Amino acid sequence: MKLLAQNTLEIKKSKFIGLLYEVKSEEEVNTILQNLKKEHKKARHFPFAYRIDNKIRKSDDKEPSNTAGLPLYNIIEKKDLNNVLIVVIRYFGGIKLGAGGLFRAYSNTASELLKNN
Protein backbone atom coordinates (compact mmCIF):
# COMPACT_ATOMS: atom_id res chain seq x y z
CA MET A 1 0.00 0.00 0.00
CA LYS A 2 1.42 3.26 -1.13
CA LEU A 3 0.05 6.79 -0.80
CA LEU A 4 0.07 8.26 -4.31
CA ALA A 5 -1.60 11.63 -3.74
CA GLN A 6 -3.24 13.77 -1.06
CA ASN A 7 -5.21 17.00 -1.10
CA THR A 8 -7.51 19.08 1.08
CA LEU A 9 -10.54 21.13 0.10
CA GLU A 10 -12.58 23.32 2.40
CA ILE A 11 -16.23 23.80 1.49
CA LYS A 12 -18.60 25.77 3.77
CA LYS A 13 -16.38 25.13 6.80
CA SER A 14 -16.21 21.35 6.20
CA LYS A 15 -12.75 19.99 5.50
CA PHE A 16 -12.39 17.21 2.90
CA ILE A 17 -9.05 15.37 2.92
CA GLY A 18 -8.62 13.24 -0.20
CA LEU A 19 -6.21 10.32 -0.26
CA LEU A 20 -5.28 8.09 -3.20
CA TYR A 21 -3.57 4.79 -2.45
CA GLU A 22 -2.18 1.98 -4.55
CA VAL A 23 -3.52 -1.24 -3.01
CA LYS A 24 -3.27 -4.93 -3.81
CA SER A 25 -5.78 -6.52 -1.40
CA GLU A 26 -8.88 -5.86 0.65
CA GLU A 27 -6.77 -6.46 3.77
CA GLU A 28 -4.65 -3.45 2.80
CA VAL A 29 -7.81 -1.37 2.34
CA ASN A 30 -9.10 -2.39 5.79
CA THR A 31 -5.73 -1.59 7.40
CA ILE A 32 -5.62 1.84 5.78
CA LEU A 33 -9.19 2.64 6.88
CA GLN A 34 -8.51 1.50 10.46
CA ASN A 35 -5.34 3.59 10.64
CA LEU A 36 -7.06 6.69 9.24
CA LYS A 37 -9.88 6.37 11.77
CA LYS A 38 -7.32 6.21 14.61
CA GLU A 39 -5.36 9.14 13.20
CA HIS A 40 -8.41 11.35 12.53
CA LYS A 41 -10.54 10.66 15.60
CA LYS A 42 -12.58 13.86 15.26
CA ALA A 43 -13.50 13.32 11.61
CA ARG A 44 -17.16 12.53 10.97
CA HIS A 45 -17.07 10.46 7.74
CA PHE A 46 -14.60 8.20 5.87
CA PRO A 47 -16.29 7.35 2.56
CA PHE A 48 -14.22 5.37 0.09
CA ALA A 49 -14.19 3.51 -3.20
CA TYR A 50 -11.75 0.99 -4.58
CA ARG A 51 -11.11 -1.36 -7.45
CA ILE A 52 -8.76 -4.29 -6.94
CA ASP A 53 -8.41 -6.72 -9.84
CA ASN A 54 -11.75 -5.41 -11.06
CA LYS A 55 -13.43 -6.12 -7.70
CA ILE A 56 -15.34 -2.97 -6.80
CA ARG A 57 -16.53 -1.65 -3.47
CA LYS A 58 -17.75 1.74 -2.32
CA SER A 59 -19.11 3.17 0.91
CA ASP A 60 -20.88 6.43 1.80
CA ASP A 61 -19.91 5.94 5.48
CA LYS A 62 -23.10 7.45 6.93
CA GLU A 63 -23.40 10.23 4.35
CA PRO A 64 -26.73 10.21 2.44
CA SER A 65 -26.98 7.36 -0.05
CA ASN A 66 -24.85 7.75 -3.21
CA THR A 67 -23.48 11.17 -2.25
CA ALA A 68 -19.94 10.07 -1.32
CA GLY A 69 -18.88 6.57 -2.40
CA LEU A 70 -20.50 6.82 -5.83
CA PRO A 71 -18.72 10.01 -6.95
CA LEU A 72 -15.42 8.53 -5.73
CA TYR A 73 -16.05 5.34 -7.68
CA ASN A 74 -17.10 7.32 -10.77
CA ILE A 75 -13.64 8.92 -10.83
CA ILE A 76 -11.94 5.50 -10.61
CA GLU A 77 -14.10 4.22 -13.45
CA LYS A 78 -13.70 7.33 -15.62
CA LYS A 79 -9.90 7.15 -15.33
CA ASP A 80 -10.00 3.33 -15.76
CA LEU A 81 -7.89 2.80 -12.63
CA ASN A 82 -7.22 -0.57 -11.01
CA ASN A 83 -5.62 -1.48 -7.67
CA VAL A 84 -6.49 1.91 -6.20
CA LEU A 85 -8.34 3.17 -3.14
CA ILE A 86 -9.73 6.68 -2.80
CA VAL A 87 -10.70 7.78 0.71
CA VAL A 88 -12.04 11.20 1.62
CA ILE A 89 -11.96 12.13 5.29
CA ARG A 90 -14.61 14.70 6.19
CA TYR A 91 -14.47 17.00 9.16
CA PHE A 92 -18.00 18.40 9.44
CA GLY A 93 -18.01 22.20 9.63
CA GLY A 94 -21.55 22.67 10.91
CA ILE A 95 -23.19 23.62 7.61
CA LYS A 96 -25.21 20.97 5.77
CA LEU A 97 -24.31 20.84 2.08
CA GLY A 98 -27.32 18.89 0.81
CA ALA A 99 -27.11 15.85 -1.49
CA GLY A 100 -25.95 17.83 -4.54
CA GLY A 101 -23.37 19.74 -2.53
CA LEU A 102 -21.98 16.55 -1.01
CA PHE A 103 -21.82 14.81 -4.38
CA ARG A 104 -19.88 17.77 -5.85
CA ALA A 105 -17.59 18.08 -2.81
CA TYR A 106 -16.56 14.41 -2.91
CA SER A 107 -16.31 14.41 -6.70
CA ASN A 108 -14.13 17.54 -6.72
CA THR A 109 -11.87 16.19 -3.98
CA ALA A 110 -11.29 12.95 -5.92
CA SER A 111 -10.79 14.78 -9.24
CA GLU A 112 -8.12 17.01 -7.69
CA LEU A 113 -6.28 13.90 -6.42
CA LEU A 114 -5.94 12.57 -9.95
CA LYS A 115 -4.94 15.78 -11.72
CA ASN A 116 -1.26 14.94 -11.44
CA ASN A 117 -1.60 11.15 -11.65
Kindly give the parts of the chain with pLDDT less than 50: none
Q: What's the confidence (pLDDT) of residue 117? A: 60
Q: Is 98 exposed, middle or buried (0-12, 13-18, 19+ CB in 10 A)?
A: exposed
Q: What's the confidence (pLDDT) of residue 114? A: 86
For 2-114, CATH gives: 3.30.230.30
Q: What's the confidence (pLDDT) of residue 59? A: 97
Q: What's the confidence (pLDDT) of residue 107? A: 95
**Residue in 91, 68, 82 with CA at minimum distance from that of residue 21:** 82
Task: List helix spans (H) across 24-91.
Answer: 26-39, 69-78
| Tens of pLDDT, residues 20-45 | 999 999 999 999 999 999 999 999 99
Q: How would you label 58-72 residue by residue, b for 16+ Cβ within 10 Å and e otherwise?
A: bbbbebeeebbbbbb
Q: What's the confidence (pLDDT) of residue 116? A: 64
Question: pTM for the whole thing?
Answer: 0.94
